[in-house]
Amino acid sequence: MNPRFLIGQYGQFDYNKYNRDFRDDFYGIEACLFRSEQDIENLIRESHATGFRIGIHFPLRAGISPLRDALFIAKENNARSDAYSIAEQELAYIHSRMQPDYVLFHYPKPVILDDRTDWTSWRFDNRTEYEFESAYAFDEFRTYSDALFEWLSLMRAKYGFTPVLELDALNRYVYEDDYLQRKLEEYRGIKLCLDTARLYIQDRVDPRFNSETVLRRYAGYAATVHLSNVQIVGGRIIQSRIPVHPSQRPSEGWAPIERYLRIISGKNPDFKIMFEHRSEHASDEQLKECYRWVSQLIQKRGE
């Protein structure tokens, strides 16, 4: 099939999902929010048995903090301090149990929202997860992001993993200014994750955002792509986290997955695909076709 593919295991090591979704030549598994030590043991044991690599979507363990995502660039000093403290404790724990290829964090977090856009379709678990651009200056964004990149570089050296920043909702600080590009050039060991569903949703709700422009700017820095499809009709999300399939037509509200993957492949020959879909929404044959189609697209190199 494809040695650049990963599947996700969120909440637990689900043997039913593992046996159905995983293939012998897949690269690995991305784990997040495991609820028990036994699930972590199962992940490690199967990795040793079959040789697949492990990626961590922070945090590995559920319940270590009130929110899933670390608020590294929060305006409040205590919130930032808590985020770093919890994250470093979790990295130390992960290092004591395994040697993951990468650890992924959402960025920017809190996200910075354009005041001119209606964000009601964007899911937040807590008000602390976002700030509006009008109340969050670009200088603050740069100061707190500078500190984050420096810390991630230190953690990379200490624990031997690749830090990956998954782009969350974006404002002009990221898609208009070249600040983030310059940081990624300065810290070449820090990579990005591009999420096709997030990119498409923002493309549809934010008239000033263009997903293809963002892909062309940042694809070269991507270590992973979180791949799933979402259907939006009449401004409403009809289906989400659906396995991608060649039958999903953009004219019917689906994200232009073929276009996205051609753009990314044209900029980057080495990124991994993590299937962030809910595979129960596909038959065995549809899942097989999903894998076959994606493998074909990323091998074509370019738009």
The tokens for 78 are: 């205590």
Instruction: Write b or e for each residue in 121-144: b if 16 or more Cβ atoms lie within 10 A of its Cβ, otherwise e.
Output: ebeeeeebbbbebeebeeeebbeb
pLDDT tens column, 190-231: 999 999 999 999 999 999 999 999 999 999 999 999 999 999
* Res 301: pLDDT: 62
Is residue 211 within a helix (H) or strand (E), and if so which, with residue range?
helix 211-218
User: At 217, phi and psi to the nearest 5?
Assistant: -75, -40
| pLDDT per residue as tens digits for the range 49-105 | 999 999 999 999 999 998 999 999 999 999 999 999 999 999 999 999 999 999 999
Q: What is the pLDDT of residue 121?
A: 87
CB 168 within 8 A of CB 110: no
pLDDT at residue number 79:
97
Residues 6+ apart with CB under 8 A from 146: 183
pLDDT of residue 123: 87
Distance of CA 156 to the CA centre of its chain: 18
Convert the pLDDT of each residue in 169-180 to its tens digit: 999 999 999 999
Asked if 243 contacts 288 with a C-beta cutoff of 8 angstroms, the reply is no
Please give the average per-residue pLDDT across 2-31, as a whole number: 97
Confidence of residue 1 (pLDDT cuts 50, 70, 90): low
284 within 8 A of 292, measured Cβ to Cβ: no
Burial environment of residue 275 by CB neighbours within 10 A (0 to 12, 13 to 18, 19 or more) = buried
Q: What is the pLDDT of residues 257-274, one digit of tens each?
A: 999 999 999 999 999 999
pTM of the model: 0.97
The predicted pLDDT at position 242 comes to: 98
300 has a pLDDT exceeding 90: no
Q: What is the mean pLDDT of the chain?
A: 96
| Stretch 16-22: mean pLDDT | 98
pLDDT band (50, 70, 90) for residue 303:
low
